[in-house]
Amino acid sequence: MNYTISQIASVIRSKPLQQNAAAVIGHILLDSRKLLFPADSLFFALGGPRRNGNSFIPELYNKGVRNFVVDESLPEDVALKFPEANFLHVPDVLQALHLLTAFHRQQFKIPVIGITGSNGKTIVKEWLFQLLQSDFNIVRSPKSYNSQVGVPLSVWQMNSENTLGIFEAGISQPDEMQRLEKIIAPTIGIFTAIGEAHGEGFLNIRQKINEKLKLFVNSDVLIYNSDDPDINEAVNTFNNNVRTGDAFRLFSWSKKEAATLRIISIEKENAKTSIRAKWNELDVNFNIPFTDEASVENAITCCCALLELERTPAMIAERMPHLRPVEMRLELKQGINNCSVINDSYSADINSLTIALDFLQQQQQHNKRTLILSDILQSGKSSAALYADVAHILEQKNINRFIGIGPEISRQQHVFASIPETVFFSSTAEFKQQFHSQHFHNETILLKGARLFEFEQISNLLEQKVHQTVLEINLNAITHNLNAYQQELNPGVKLMAMVKAFSYGSGSFEIANLLQFHKVDYLAVAYADEGVELRKAGISLPIMVMNAEATSFDAIVQYNLEPELFSFGILGDLETYLIRSAITNYPVHIKLDTGMHRLGFEQNDIPALCKKLQTSTAFKIQTVFSHLAASDSRTHDDFTGHQAIAFMQGCELLQRTIGYTFLRHLANTSAIHRHKELQLDMVRLGIGLYGVDPSPAMQQQLKNVTTLKTTISQIKKVKAGESIGYSRKGIATKDSVIATVRIGYADGYPRILSNGAGKMRVSNHLVPVMGNVCMDMTMLDITGTEVSEGDEVIVFGEELPVSELAAWAQTIPYEILTGISQRVKRVYYEE
């Protein structure tokens, strides 16, 4: 559905239009990097912690965007610079976005399911889609789009073809839900499980439930689990005090007492669960292919929704066994022939395709980008219109090669003529028959397929075979942690991200690509060869090299890297090289030693340094910096203060001598939030980016980034008194069950964790290491746990923090993370 810009101006209560009142809007744009349809996009210039959306207007205007919603900080005479643009001035850009999407929602009279809770929202939404897609044309939230900006983007998808909407809503503080309620306007409400997630903004669990219930102030019915005492009490209070006197209905389910859907029995056997229930005196019995408690509860919630939508018990019994796991993450893996493979093959619709293509576009390690896409099923559009839209998106995203799989996409292959290289197959089987590994070389490949096409068969062909010990890196968590520290920054402060030592063990270009996409200002590496690899992978950000050597000057200059100068020796060597190469004003960084006593010019060196820099034309100083020795320690705050004074004195003298300005940076991860007065012009973010901060308060705000996991190779029963491992260091004190897992000190698991010093998590149990850690294997005492060979083992991660493992190993998280061997394959994912 399209609207004229004058209609939109009226809806969002903006000031009069500047130019073309007849302009037609079909798309909302919030991120300048995700532009697909310039001509009919309306850009909402939202403010952020570091940037105002107004700063992206020139870039978007040059790309063809002509319609903008801006706040009143943008001068009205700005139209003179952009003569063809419409500017809608509003007091609050986010509120304007909410007003427009709420108006859009009002145009549709279809049933809409609104889902909230702490856990299970996305699973319930996706399972409802699986269960109901044959009955309805469904519009739903992409992925986990449930925030103050995610919900508007989700609801904007609604069109005249849809017959059912399913949207999630999440909040992190009071007074957010009533805004989302106006946008979703659910007719059917679902409250899933409640938990501690995002609880920081609420006084207690009851306040959080009450706030979430505001989503249902105008709903016809609310589905909930009355066995949860907090939810049950809050819902009944809501029903009696808020919805009193209207036609609001409660649809409860319970395993314990009378409810709309009364659960009679739950039996688990052989990887399936059988559920028997009563509803309106009718038997409702069904099986699901899951046994975990969360899946059982989510399936019961879905059953209630199906009954509310008048699906029969027989339909429910037929459909529930076909529920599939919901893959909520997109994975980046190393592929054959130096390829990178992005596996997002659990679903195919145009919205999730756009999200996956955004991730593909972030990847700069290869010049060639390939998309393998299946038929898109049940889009609500004609095939011609659907694939014309897809072709336009692929053209905007600069896809070099397109492989279409499926009968319908093959029939529409003519619309993809603008893509340089295309090939089509009627089925996955046909693709496999004609597959040859040499057809894929030095490219980034995105797999996007509907479940029906079983693209896991294609991913098995394309992905490099890996050791079963893997380090998973959550890219969403890195983005979250970056934002957490950015919110601590004073206005105008820049950020340098430390990606040395393989990004603290997490990866090279994979992390740098993400940081570049999120517009950090600088990267820093330890050695020139790390910077060279980033440049070869397409990273264009400025890169500081912290340990420059004379032997690396050729590479530094060739790849436009910026060396740190920390002594007169390295300064003289670089000056000689630059003069011989006829290079002037080469960008460099000066390091001062203010008390760390590792690298850097000491205070008594600064006068001579000033004299040298004053007479040399070889250098252009980009930044001057120093390293705080103990910024995380309150005990050493006085010493930190002395370092800061020495640093500022050194910078002042250098500034006066060279006659031009440079950036100053002193604050590292801890100092960013503990010593905000030392943020100066730029900060250096290191270990905090990867989810570790010495401050408990800051640590609570961070998300776990890395999970090291392996699998059980073999399980043995050992009698009391028998030994386990080399040197017979492990002796069973009783009859025991021992699991050998596929990780050892060659993978980076410290040998000091032998003989019970270390533990791993197996089947949600913490079990000790038995005997000595071997080069490639480690033995665990799993006595009393129910596990099988091949089961997953967590070495560290969300439930077993790397800081805890580091404490057992009598070291620090830095050493553990950077010590993970390169033979341990990294798997990158976005949720």
Residues with a known catalytic role:
500, 726
**How far is Cα 119 from Cα 425, in angstroms, rounded to an integer?**
40
**How far is Cα 359 from Cα 379, in angstroms, rounded to an integer?**
22
CA 677 to chain centre: 30
Burial 44-72 (b: 16+ CB within 10 A, else e): bbbeeebebbbebbeebbeeebbbbbbbe
**How far is Cα 224 from Cα 221, in angstroms, rounded to an integer?**
10
Residue the block writes with tokens 């394309």:
462
* Among the listed residues 233, 238, 249, the one whose alpha carbon sits nearest the alpha carbon of residue 308: 249
Q: What are the residues whose beta carbons fall under 8 Å from the beta carbon of 587, sequence distance 6 or more?
A: 542, 562, 619, 620, 622
Burial 93-115 (b: 16+ CB within 10 A, else e): bbebbbbbbbbbbeebeebbbbb
In 618-704, which ranges are continuous DSSP H helix? 637-658, 669-674, 696-701
Burial 510-540 (b: 16+ CB within 10 A, else e): bbbbbbbbbebbbbbbbbbebbbbbbebebe
**How far is Cα 60 from Cα 71, in angstroms, rounded to an integer?**
17
Residue the block writes with tokens 């505001």:
214
333 Rama class: left (phi>0) / alpha (psi -120 to 50) / beta = beta
SS3 715: strand
Report angle CA 206, 212, 216 to the nearest 5 degrees. 125
Helices then strands (H, E): number in the chain?
A: 27, 39
Q: What are the residues whose beta carbons fall under 8 Å from the beta carbon of 677, sequence distance 6 or more?
A: none
> Which contacts of 16-21 are long-range, i.e. CB under 8 A and separated by 24 or more positions?
17/86, 17/87, 17/88, 18/79, 18/85, 18/86, 18/87, 19/66, 19/79, 19/83, 19/84, 19/85, 19/86, 20/66, 20/84, 20/86, 21/86
Q: What are the residues whose beta carbons fall under 8 Å from the beta carbon of 363, sequence distance 6 or more?
A: 332, 340, 342, 369, 444, 513
Q: What are the residues whose beta carbons fall under 8 Å from the beta carbon of 452, sequence distance 6 or more?
A: 374, 377
391-to-29, 71, 372, 397, 399 alpha-carbon distances in Å: 19, 34, 13, 10, 10
Question: What are φ and ψ of residue 76, in 5° steps?
Answer: -65, -25
Residue the block writes with tokens 């010019």:
601
